[in-house]
Every structure is written in structure tokens, then in C-alpha cells.
Amino acid sequence: MSDVVLGSGEHRYRLAEGWGTLPDGWETGDVAGIGVDRHDNVYVFHRGKHPMIVFDRAGNFLRSWGDDIFTRAHGVSMAPDDTIFCTDEGDHTVRRCTLEGKVLLTIGLPGNKAAWMSGTPFNRCTHTALAPNGDIYVSDGYGNACVHKYAPDGRRIMSWGRPGTDPGEFNLPHNITCDDGGFVYVADRENHRVQVFDGNGRYETQWNNMHRPSSMYMPPGKCPICYIGEIGPYLGFNRGAPNLGPRVSIVDNTGKVITRLCVEPAAGTGPGQFLSPHGMSVDSHGDLYIGEVGYTAWPSLFPDQPVPKGLRCLQKLVKVTA
């Protein structure tokens, strides 16, 4: 366990160094999404062989699946009925699967990309969220600028959003989540904000005190708190600047910062540093699991340095309780 303590007050963490034991010869690529089931098993959705890897809470390998299913992992959302929604950016689909990898529902046509910025699903969709009534929301981000709402059976109900910076417009909707009140939270990454909508896409408010929000995790409840992974600056003039990330921020139900997890310099692979927090989840003990797309981020963060082999793309932060 690292001696570095991140955060403050009730939200303090230490890095569990080396967490997650893989079979010999295995490694993870960019870890795009992470989910935790009700037994505290951890589902790691990554861009490499064996794209879904399952660990127990201690980091012991349990199983893997998805080699013949997924093209490019992007997002994971756990459902209350012990199923998992997997958003495949490269295949332009969302799949609802059992926890053992059986596909139960596919939304979108595999390999069929919608026209760029057309507003029709999907063009490099990014993440999926579930409403309390079972409705499904999909952020459609890299080749679109909208959110799509589906019935539990996969029937599209509506869509909203277009490119732009005004309320209800998006510049890369990269992540999405719902609270128990049915409100929808969208990480509008390149607009440096999280937008909040009701279940029918009506704009409510936005949170702006963040830098390129990339991932979100909201525990059960009516927006009690939200964990937000922010990626750092990639441009030459502000690359490496302090107080911009990459980092993880914890905010309250109004978007006010409770604490931020990082040390300076923020970018790196040491305790308390991040490369690109892209997927997050929290277990029943309050421990935080963070997936990073480190191989993708490295050339932008450190353009003059070669990408290291065996780059760390998976972290567990253990909550400090005393």
C-alpha cells in the first residue's frame, strides 16, 4: 500500500500498488471502462486480448470474455438485474450482457456507422446509463454530438443535442450517468462541463469547475456525490501546467468540489498520478477503481518520450477509514 494519501476529510485514499493479478503472459491495454457488481467483483473493459477481465475484490483473476464480441472498448454500466452494458466505440453498438458474457441485447448495427454529426445513432458511441425505470441513455460522442434514449427492449424513444457550446449542445459527450431521481448527467468533455438534464432531455443546469471531464461514477441515490475523472491538457502551451489534471474530482449534488485526488505533477504513473482516468467505479467498501487509457494519452502528455512497455492502466484506491 502506498504511503501517499489522496483527498481530504471523508474521502481519503491510498493506492493499492500492483492490484490485479493476471495469468502469465496476459496484460491489459487501455482500460476504457470499469464496473463493480453486488459481490464486489470488478469488470475491466480494455482494448486488448480478452477485452473483459473479471477480478475479485482482492485482485484475483476470475475469468475473461468478449474476444469474439468487441472491437474497441469504451464504456461499462452495471445494471441492477446483474447484467452489464458494454459500449463499443469501434463497432458503434451497445450490448447488454450477462456477467458471464452472453449477449442479451444489441442496440445499433455492428459495424454500421451513422453519418458524421447526423444526430442518428451511432457514430463512435461512448457510454451508457440506466434510468430507475429501466430506460437506457447512450452518449454518442466522437462522430456525433447527442444523447439517445431507448426503452428497455432497445426501441429508440428520442434523441437530443447538436454540436455547440450553448446549454443542451455538446462538444464530445464522453460519459453519461443517471441518479435515482431520473436526472441525466453528461460529461461534455471538450466544453469542460457536466450538463444535467431531466429524463426527457430538458436542460436543468451545468457544472463548469473541471477540466475535460472524461469519466463519471455516481453511487446509488439521488445524486449524493459524483466522482469525475478529468484528463490533462495536451496543448503545448499548457501541457504540464499545475491544477489542471489529469485528476479525479469528487463533487456534491450541486457540482461543488468536495476534494480532488492527485499530486503534482499530476501526469505520470506514480502514486497519486494519472494519465487519463477514463472509467471508474466504487465497491461496497468505498474503494475506488480507475481505468486509464494510458497508451492513448501518453504521446499527448509526453510527446518527446517513448511509450513505456507495460504501462499501468488500472488502479485501485483504497479508502482510508481511520
Per-residue pLDDT of 129-188, as tens digits, reads 999 999 999 999 999 999 999 999 999 999 999 999 999 999 999 999 999 999 999 999
Give the chain's length: 322
Residue 119 has pLDDT above 90, yes or no: yes
Residue 199 has pLDDT above 90, yes or no: yes
Residue whose C-alpha is closest to residue 44's, from 66, 17, 68:
66
Across the chain, mean pLDDT equals: 96
Residue 222 has pLDDT above 80, yes or no: no
Contact criterion met (CB below 8 Å) for 43 and 289: no
Confidence band of 2 (pLDDT split at 50, 70, 90): confident
Contact criterion met (CB below 8 Å) for 205 and 189: no
Residue 322 has pLDDT above 80, yes or no: no
Predicted pLDDT at 51: 98
- pTM of the complete model: 0.97
Contacts (Cβ under 8 Å, ≥6 apart) of 142: 89, 123, 124, 126, 172
Residue 220 has pLDDT above 90, yes or no: no
pLDDT digits (tens, 9 = 90+) for 234-247: 999 999 999 999 99
- Region 287-299 average pLDDT: 97
Predicted pLDDT at 221: 77
Give me the architecture of the 6-319 domain, per CATH: 6 Propeller (2.120)
User: How many of the other CB atoms lie within 10 Å of CB of 55?
Assistant: 22
Residue 261 has pLDDT above 80, yes or no: yes
Domain ranges of the chain: 6-319
Predicted pLDDT at 180: 93
